[in-house]
Amino acid sequence: MFRRKLEEIGSAVYRTFCYPFVRMGIERRTKSILKPKSYLIRSSLRGRNYLGKNVYLKNTTLGFGSYINDNGNFTNTWIGNYTSIGTDVKAVLGSHPVHGHVAMHPAFYAKSGAMGFTYAKEDTFEEFRMVKGKEPYQIVIGNDVWIGNDVKIMQGVTIGDGAVVGAGAVVTKDIPPYSICAGVPARVKGYRFEPGEIEMLLALKWWDKEETFLKEHIQEFSDIGSFLKGEKERRQHETGNCSRGL
């Protein structure tokens, strides 16, 4: 107990007096904006990010240009490029045995004793679930995703590229790319574009392109038809150049 209290005091001192300077270094290195009381533990920012007040990231990767507004809380989460996350959005990790087990308290199924004590001699329930193929991440949020305020995202979930999650939703299952979802639990209400357009956007992966390209073609981003037409013309031009080279 004495050791735990010392660790708590040390952590408070570090966060109050030392971490503000660490935060300044992260801002300069990644060209990002980190508001007061935002805090990162073993997490990475890919550049041009924004973290609002009281944002907490642990074992999390935040893609280029993505931002999280005030009071966001993410652990073991991978977030793609140019994703927009509202205020009070939380990753919800861990579970309890509802069926089969007599007791739902972790003292009866987890030997770690994370809550201070345990009766279990072995783990008899899988408390934490990873996203298959994305281990050790428990939640994956794609590129160009918009998540509204007060959304809760359960472990094991993947939110596809270009998806919209309405304010107040509870995401319990995977969200398809470019879908518009809302509700408790979140359900698909529609899609942003036609199936063929979605297929082309997923193949193009514009969010991986250099900033020079995005700046040069910024006007096309206000209309899906213009963007896809421009991309088709660019590909035809590239194909023509390759043919002449042969």
- CA–CA distance, 63 with 44 (Å, rounded to integer): 9
Helix (H) or strand (E) holding 195: helix 195-204
CA angle at 160 for the pair 154 and 165, rounded to the nearest 5°? 60
- CA torsion through residues 205, 209, 213, 214, sign: positive
Residue 229 pLDDT > 70, yes or no? yes
DSSP letter at 177 equals T
pLDDT value for 81: 99
pLDDT at 242 over 70: no
- The first and second tokens of residue 46, run together, are 């890919």
99 is catalytic: yes
- Residue % of the chain over a pLDDT of 70: 96
Domains by residue range for the chain, with CATH: 2-93+128-208 (2.160.10.10), 94-127 (no CATH)
Contact 69, 87 (CB under 8 A): yes
Which of 99, 105, 217, 237 is catalytic? The answer is 99
DSSP-assigned letter for residue 42 = S
- Residue 222's pLDDT is 96
Assign 4 a pLDDT band (cuts: 50, 70, 90): confident
* E strand or H helix that includes residue 26: helix 19-30
Flag whether the pTM goes above 0.85. yes
Per-residue pLDDT band at 234 (split at 50, 70, 90): confident
- The tens digit of pLDDT for each residue in 169-226 reads 999 999 999 999 999 999 999 999 999 999 999 999 999 999 999 999 999 999 999 9
**pLDDT tens per residue across span 17-66:** 889 999 999 999 999 999 999 999 999 999 999 999 999 999 999 999 99
